[in-house]
Chain A
Amino acid sequence: MDSATLLQTFANSIVAGSIYAVIAVGLAMAFGVMKMANFAHGEFFMVGAYTVYVCYGLMGWPFPVAVLMAIPVVALLGVATERFIFRPTRENVLAGFMATAGLALILQVLIGQIWGVGLMRSVPTPYMGALDLGGVRIGWQRVLVIPSAIAMLFALWYFLYHAKAGKALRACAQDPETARLQGININRMTMLAMAISGALAGLAGALMAPIHPVTPYMGHGIILTAFIVVVMGGMESIAGAILAAVLLGFIHTFVTTLSDAVTAQMVGVACMAVVLIVRPQGLLGRVKA
Chain B
Amino acid sequence: MTRTNWTFAAFLVLVLAGACVAPFLVKPYTLEILIIFLINLILVCSYRIPAMTGDWSLSHVVMMGVGAYTTALLSTHLDLSILLTVPLSAIVAGILGYIIVLPMIRTRGFGFFIASFAIGEFVRLTWVKFRDVFGGPRGMIGIPNGEIGSIDLFFATPSYFFMLVIAFICLTIMYRIDKSRIGSTFVAIYKDEELAEAVGINVPHYRALAFATGTFFAGIAGALLAHRLGAVDPKGFDINTMVYLIIWIVVGGSATFWGPIVGLIVVTFAFEWTRPLLEWRPLLFGGLLIFFLVFLPGGLESLLAKIRQRLVPGQNDDAAASPGTAGE
Contact = CB atoms under 8 A, between A and B. Distances in A.
Interface of A: 35, 37, 84-85, 88-89, 91-99, 101-106, 108-110, 112-113, 117, 220, 224, 227-228, 231, 235, 260, 262-263, 265-266, 269-270, 272-273, 276-277, 280
Contacts of A277: 103, 106
Contact of B326 (A94, A104, A228): A94
Contacts of A266: 122, 125-126, 129
Given A93-B328, A102-B286, A269-B122, A85 B294 contact: yes
Given A93-B110, A97-B113, A276-B106, A85 B327 contact: no
Contacts of B113: 94, 97
Given A109-B279, A231-B111, A277-B106, A89 B122 contact: no
Nearest to A281: B111
Most chain A CB within a 10 A radius of its CB, from B122, B128, B293: B293
Nearest to B324: A92
Nearest to A282: B111
Contacts of A89: 293-294, 297
B282 interface: yes
Contacts of A106: 282-283, 286-287, 290
Contacts of A108: 282
A269 B128 CA distance: 15
Contacts of B283: 105-106, 109-110
B129 A94 contact: no
Contacts of A102: 243, 247, 285-290, 293
Please classify the interface of chain A as helix (H, G, I), strand (E, B), loop, or mixed, using the class held by over half of its residues.
helix
Given A85-B294, A94-B326, A273 B119 contact: yes
B177 interface: no
B161 interface: no
Contact of A101 (B126, B246, B280): B246
Contacts of A84: 290, 294
A8 B282 CA distance: 41
Interface string B107-135: 10111011101110110011011000000
Given A273-B115, A276-B106, A101 B289 contact: yes
Interface in B257-300: 279-280, 282-283, 285-290, 293-295, 297
A94 B110 contact: yes
A261 B280 CA distance: 31
Given A266-B126, A272-B118, A273-B103, A117 B110 contact: no
B171 interface: no
Minimum-distance CB pairs A-B, first 10: A105-B286, A102-B289, A102-B286, A109-B283, A106-B286, A99-B293, A269-B122, A102-B290, A105-B282, A93-B110
B239 interface: yes
Contacts of A113: 279-280
A96 B246 CA distance: 13
A220 B326 CA distance: 25
Most chain B CB within a 10 A radius of its CB, from A35, A105, A112: A105
Nearest to A277: B103
A35 B109 CA distance: 12
Interface string B82-126: 000000000000000000000110110111011101110110011
B184 interface: no
Given A113-B279, A227-B114, A98 B246 contact: yes
B169 to A, nearest CB: 31
Contact of A280 (B106, B109, B128, B282): B106
A110 B283 CA distance: 8
A102 B126 CA distance: 27
Contact of A227 (B56, B118, B282): B118
B320 to A, nearest CB: 21
B121 A265 contact: yes
Nearest to B119: A273
Given A101-B243, A103-B286, A280-B111, A224 B294 contact: no
A98 B109 CA distance: 12
Nearest to B100: A273
Contacts of A92: 297, 325-328
Nearest to A85: B290
A85 B280 CA distance: 21
A277 B126 CA distance: 21
A269 B129 contact: no
A269 B123 CA distance: 10
A110 B103 CA distance: 38
Given A98-B250, A98-B289, A269 B125 contact: yes
A85 B119 CA distance: 27
Nearest to B126: A266
22 contacts: A85-B294, A88-B295, A89-B294, A91-B327, A92-B327, A93-B110, A94-B113, A95-B325, A98-B250, A101-B243, A101-B246, A101-B286, A102-B243, A102-B247, A104-B286, A106-B287, A109-B286, A113-B279, A227-B117, A273-B115, A276-B106, A280-B106
A104 B288 CA distance: 13
A260 B136 CA distance: 13
A88 B117 CA distance: 25
B115 A231 contact: yes
A99 B289 contact: yes
A109 B280 contact: yes
Contacts of A276: 103-104, 106-107, 111, 115
Contacts of B326: 92, 94
Contacts of B122: 266, 269-270, 273
